[in-house]
Amino acid sequence: MNTFFQLFVSGLATGSIYALAAIGFTLLWQASQTINFAQGEFIMLPAFFVLAGTQFLGLSFPVAMAIAVVLSLLLLGLGFKRIIIDPLLPHGVLPIVIATIALGILMKEGVKQFYTAEALPFPALFSDRTLNVLGAAISVQDIAVLLIALGAVALLQLFLNGTKIGRCMQATAQNPNVAEILGVPVRRMILYTFLINAGLAFLASVLISPIYLAKFSNGETLGLIAFIAAIVGGFNQIRGALAGGLLLGVIDNLSAAYVSASYRSAVPLILLIIIILVRPQGLLGKAEGRTV
Amino acid sequence: MSKRTLATLVAGLAILILLPFTQSNYGVFVLCSWLVYSISAMGLNLTLGYAGQVSLAQASFMGIGAYTTALMTMAGVPWPAAMIAAMVLCFVIGLLLGYPALRVQHHFLAFITLAFNALVVLVLRNEEWLTGGTYGIVGIPRPELFGLQTQKPLAFYFFVLALFVLMAVALYAIIRSPWGRAFKALRENPIRANSLGVDIRKTTLLAFAIGSSYGGLAGSLLAQLTQFIDPHSFGLTISLKVLLMVIVGGAGFFFGPILGALLIVLAPEFLRFTEGYYLMIYAVLVIVLMIFCPTGLLGLVERARTALKLRQNPNATTWEAGR
């Protein structure tokens, strides 16, 4: 029972990081019908910005983090939208899928060629002490990660529901044409969405890299999991992506312990197939109108 | 088919027959893998280009076909039976996978097939008693035809070429049949096609299943070509590679996937001097292509042709010029 509780909590911690990625994913989908297949690499890259700052430029850790935030917003937010998505949007979903897959390869290979192919340790933001809760050893880092990630999601919700810009963004996501008629600067709202996605990716990156080490190929699994979390929870809901992320984190941890190590990664995949078959709108999602 | 197209086709076939004689063993191997991937991409083109469904599982069908053929021929089953079994198995799995997936919105097939491909690789890797795990299967025999061995590269090339032509003709017949026209109608305007009595789900499902069995055949040929298979050769990256072949060449054009396969199979040969930067250059090229020409190279050709006709006859509508 203690092991179960331990696995459950650490699963929630990694799950909350998956949730950040999944939320960014759904936001992009809502705002501009962009399925970002490079989402995993978006989470892999910012950690390397930080490491490049501390290792090559000799910056202190906080300064490197600050520069990495700006770089992430510029490249993964603004640059991604202007250079890749804007020209592709008129052509529909498929070219975006292909182009973001290619972008993922480019980012991965870029880090491998110009930085390193090895897994690098990333400074932990919190101590790795463990607390004794009801006989189970719970690490402080897990709790802190969980709190920060959930805090970020709560802030995001507050922003989307409580501010004028947030409401304009929701209107844009629901119906860009009507939003434009009502005077919402639709293009700027979409840009904000891309910036938020980049910010979430940065946060996920610095939270997960101390746990999994920073490696060029981290994006492969992260991207797939974020993607599955978004669909399982509900592709058109922030709540859904959050629930999906937490669920996947816990399931992943528990199945590693109780199913089998070799079929561990099959569990989320099977969950995905079952969800699509039984409840295609996701656990918390609302059914969208059928396209046909 | 006009006389000119017929002449071009005959010339193309003549080149395909004569070309391998000028090549080294390695050159013949590259040509063979081009033809094999072309068959796979042709199948995916039926699903993607004609029926408008994105599938990310073509490599897993190649894997199923390859392992079926390898295991059966090595157990002593004659190769024609093994290859037909591989195609039938892929067709059935395609039906089983597509039936529930096509019930829902269009991009869900992409998600389900993505998960399916990852699952197939896991099973191939973990069920060592059957598939040899990560070590794969070595020593797959090449077929023997009327007492002729195809162990030599040239002989095997002609075996692959014959099957390639056969599958291309079969695909052409499918596309030209009323049934294949229903695929196109679906892609262009599903609601209108439905109102004219096309059963959307049944038609797309069949397109997906036929496309999958093309993948199965390509897989069996690949197993015989390399005589070694492992799970790595059928992962998601390979599915993406086949998808790219279809898109780069031009989805929905008959010769699109064949051209795309040629470019993608040859690209590593030409870009070899770039060494580690190869994949980066490749990725940039793909992004640029998607931005400037999302309909693929044949789409670009068609656009140029339409523009030319419009210039010669400014009074024609775009639609007339596009004919």
- What's the CATH number where B147 sits? 1.10.3470
Cα(A127)–Cα(A142) distance, integer angstroms: 10
Check if the beta carbon of residue A200 is closer than 8 Å to that of residue A59. no
Average pLDDT for residues A253-275, to the nearest whole number?
A: 85
Q: Does residue B7 lie in a domain region?
A: no
**Average pLDDT in chain B:** 88
Cα(A183)–Cα(A179) distance, integer angstroms: 7
- The pLDDT score that the predictor gives to residue A292 is 33
Cα(B223)–Cα(B50) distance, integer angstroms: 28
- The pLDDT score that the predictor gives to residue A289 is 47
Q: Does residue B1 lie in a domain region?
A: no
The least confident of A165-169, A197-201, B101-105, B154-158 is B101-105
| Tens of pLDDT, residues A58-109 | 899 999 999 999 999 999 999 999 999 999 988 888 888 889 989 999 999 9
Cα(A245)–Cα(A229) distance, integer angstroms: 5
Cα(B95)–Cα(B132) distance, integer angstroms: 27
Check if the beta carbon of residue B98 is closer than 8 Å to that of residue B209. yes
The proportion of chain A whose per-residue pLDDT surpasses 70, expressed as a percent, equals: 97
| Tens of pLDDT, residues A35-44 | 898 999 999 9
Which residues partner with B235 through β-bridges? none
Counting the structural domains of chain B, the total is 1
Q: Does residue B12 lie in a domain region?
A: no
- The pLDDT score that the predictor gives to residue B320 is 54
Average pLDDT for residues A206-223, to the nearest whole number?
A: 90
Binding-site residues on chain B for chain A (CB distance < 8 A): 54, 100-101, 103-108, 110-112, 114-116, 118-119, 122, 125-126, 190-191, 194, 200, 240, 243-244, 247, 276-277, 279-280, 282-284, 286-287, 290-291, 294
Residues of chain A with Cβ-Cβ distance to B115 below 8 Å are: 228, 269-270, 272-273
Q: B317 falls in which pLDDT band (50, 70, 90)?
A: low
- Short-list B7, B69, B23, B20, CA closest to B213: B69
| Tens of pLDDT, residues B239-253 | 989 998 999 899 889
- Short-list A144, A150, A151, A143, CA closest to A125: A144
Q: B1 falls in which pLDDT band (50, 70, 90)?
A: low
- Short-list B209, B175, B225, B272, CA closest to B34: B225
Question: How far apart, in Å, do the first and last CA atoms of chain A sit?
Answer: 49
Cα(B208)–Cα(A126) distance, integer angstroms: 51
Exposure string over A130-142, b if 16+ CB within 10 A, otherwise e: eeeeeebebbebb
Binding-site residues on chain A for chain B (CB distance < 8 A): 35, 84, 87-88, 91-99, 101-103, 105-106, 109-110, 112-113, 224, 227-228, 231, 262-263, 265-266, 269-270, 272-273, 276-277, 280, 288, 290-292
Check if the beta carbon of residue A53 is closer than 8 Å to that of residue A264. no
Q: Does residue B315 lie in a domain region?
A: no
Check if the beta carbon of residue B67 is closer than 8 Å to that of residue B231. no
The ipTM assigned to this model is 0.87
- The alpha carbon of residue B290 is apart from the nearest alpha carbon of chain A, in Å, by 6
- The pLDDT score that the predictor gives to residue B105 is 59
Q: Does residue B309 lie in a domain region?
A: no
Q: A138 falls in which pLDDT band (50, 70, 90)?
A: confident
Q: Does residue B303 lie in a domain region?
A: no
Residue boundaries of the structural domains of chain A: 2-218
Nearest beta carbon to residue B200 from set A98, A103, A292? A292
- Short-list B232, B253, B110, CA closest to A101: B110
Q: Does residue B304 lie in a domain region?
A: no
CB contact under 8 A, B279 and A105: yes
